[in-house]
Amino acid sequence: MRFAIATCLLAFLSNSVFAEDSSTETASRVDELLVKLLADEGVTVAPVTKDEDFLRRVYLDLAGVVPSPKESTLFGLNPDPSKRSKVINSLLESEDFGKLWGAYWRNVVISRATEARARIVQPAFERWFVDQMNENRPWDEITRTLITATGPVGETGETGLIFSHTGQPEELAAEVSRIFLGIQMSCANCHDHPTDSWKREDFHQLAAFMPRISVRREEPGNPRSFAVRSLEKNQRGRRGRDIDVDQIFRALDRNRDGFIVKSEARGQMAQRFDRLLDLADADKNKKLSKAEFNKTREAANNAMPGRGELEYYMPNLNNPASKGKLTQPVFFIPEAKGPRLRSGADDMTRRHALVDYITSPTNPWFARAFTNRIWAEMLGQGFYTPIDDMGPERIAMFEEVLEILAQGFVENDYDVKWVYRTIAKTEAYQRELRSQQSDEYVPPFASATPTRLRSDQIYKSLFQVLGVSAGTVGDIRGNRFAMTARRGGQDVGKLIFQQTFGVDPSMPKDDIIGNVPQALFMMNSGQIEQMIRGTGDTKLARILRKQSNDEDALSELYLLVLSREPTDTELAINTKYATEVGNRSEAFEDIMWSLLNSTEFISKR
């Protein structure tokens, strides 16, 4: 028994050491190659940044919040040379890591939703993704679960991707390619791009993996009872989709002349008969032949997204009313190895086959897409920009460096935390900011790039600084979405903050800038004003009571809000201001308000 326990323990320690050594070794290889490539361009890299800036940066990237003053002080005083690696590991094991990145991946999917009711699945989707991140579930397994998901959308979070696009194969093909391969194919839905390798037929062969997905409301009268199901032939008949068109036509064609006229139509068909003539009456004789009647049935089915089809038909752009060309599933990346599909394969066989192709180690784009995206989030710029528009015709910056990271990701069995750990350990990630003295082009990654924080990072950091639990921000009266969210037990403040500060996380960082509503929110929020008062039991009031010396109080306030000590110039300006105001509490309220509304507070430096 003791031998078995010892063997298991040694195996665990061995795997842990391997993972640690692997990330450290890969980080070193990345830095070595990157420094060489930059030197070849005549660029000298910036030195590694000081402890206080590194700590704030890594806390925001791995936990979504600024460090507390105590954490900043203790980290700065710690002489351990491996303290940066240790704090990286500690943050990766915290629940905050999953909360931050679960929310991020929710936004990656939901921000591009074509289903107007996608918010129904949003809470369960985020909870599911948080669990996946904290459990460090491999990325290929997460991908498989998302693409093969079924179940009630309000309870089964992994249905989030499919429900966000009502199970429509064309929309899903575009999003699956974008999210998991970093490849934009949506334009190929309608036309061949003159310079892209992958054409319109490739796009529709990809969509042909997913026609048998049904997204239906399962409880009549309950607008939130949607579920994702597989549509198979035996289910189709029970749902009324396998209707005998000949039988219906014969019943309506009472005079048996081979046509249906308006006087023969009944019910809703009689009310819509003129519209049906406009749609299908090719010879304009005010009658519907059996072939024309069948076209109206097909058009009605196509106008109801989420119902699913047994087979996939590539639309005929020259004749949109036609059924189109029967198209079988074929994966568009020839290097990717996967199973051969028989004609008529069922839904789950098709979807699992698609995942096999996507996650295959021989598919070069799967690992690249994830590592490029995370690198861009943590360093402010990816090897490919935009991060979801990669491909053989696109030019990558320092592609050899990306290849080292992607290969390590594959070799570590798509270990998600391995990617974050490796990137955080690189000197490229830990470099200091460097001001650009001219308009000359400077290659990326030679120094740190300041980037604007995401809405959830600002939200958590704001409440960390104010010393209160995150909750409602702003008045929700009249905001039906917020009131519904509160009844559902969601963090309403976070959702309102997302509405004001949220952006599509796949956008290039340079395109994300502030706007007037965001500035007004921070400057005019009555709740924030109450929380920065210099009297009562606020964080600021406690600092002022504890520190009678203004310079000491300013040092503690700067450490609280910006995670750093004030410069001598800042000390001089602020102490002078406090003297001029004459009211210490009022002066420090103004100073704290200014720090919270500074670009530095809402940026990662």
Q: pLDDT tens digits for 273-285?
A: 777 777 777 788 8
Inter-CA distances, 532 with 123, 468, 525, 559, Å: 31, 11, 11, 15
Token couple for 537:
């039991």
**What is the reported pLDDT for 308?**
74
pLDDT mean across residues, the chain: 85
Q: What is the pLDDT of residues 1-13, one digit of tens each?
A: 433 434 343 343 3
Residues 25, 43: Cα–Cα separation, whole Å? 24
Burial of 247 (0-12, 13-18, 19+ CB in 10 A): exposed
Residues 95, 201: Cα–Cα separation, whole Å? 44
Nearest 5°: the CA angle 389, 390, 394 is 105
| Nearest in space to 409 (alpha carbons), one of 398, 423, 395, 396 | 423
Kindly state the average pLDDT of the residues 333-347.
90
Residues 487, 522: Cα–Cα separation, whole Å? 26
Most confident of 228-242, 304-318, 355-369, 496-510: 355-369
Q: Spell out the residues 6+ positions from residue 216 whose beta carbon is closer than 8 angstroms to its own.
A: 226, 227, 229, 239, 306, 307
Q: Spell out the residues 6+ positions from residue 517 whose beta carbon is closer than 8 angstroms to its own.
A: 500
Give the SS3 label for residue 368: helix
Token couple for 258:
């081979």
Q: What is the pLDDT of residues 182-204, one digit of tens each?
A: 999 988 888 887 778 889 999 99
Kindly state the average pLDDT of the residues 144-148.
98
Model confidence at 168: pLDDT above 80? yes
Kindly list the domain boundaries of the chain, sorted by start residue: 2-93+363-449, 97-220+225-229+327-359, 455-604
Q: Which amino acid is at 571?
A: L
Q: Spell out the residues 6+ positions from residue 557 whose beta carbon is closer than 8 angstroms to its own.
A: 540, 543, 588, 591, 592, 595
Cβ pair 382, 372 in contact under 8 A: yes
pTM for the whole thing? 0.83
Model confidence at 16: pLDDT above 60? no
Residue reference for tokens 């784009």: 365
Residues 449, 255: Cα–Cα separation, whole Å? 77
Residues 432, 48: Cα–Cα separation, whole Å? 6
Cβ pair 585, 548 in contact under 8 A: no
Give the SS3 label for residue 326: strand
Burial of 511 (0-12, 13-18, 19+ CB in 10 A): exposed
Q: What percent of the chain has pLDDT over 70?
A: 83
Cβ pair 360, 152 in contact under 8 A: no
| Nearest in space to 226 (alpha carbons), one of 319, 147, 116 | 116
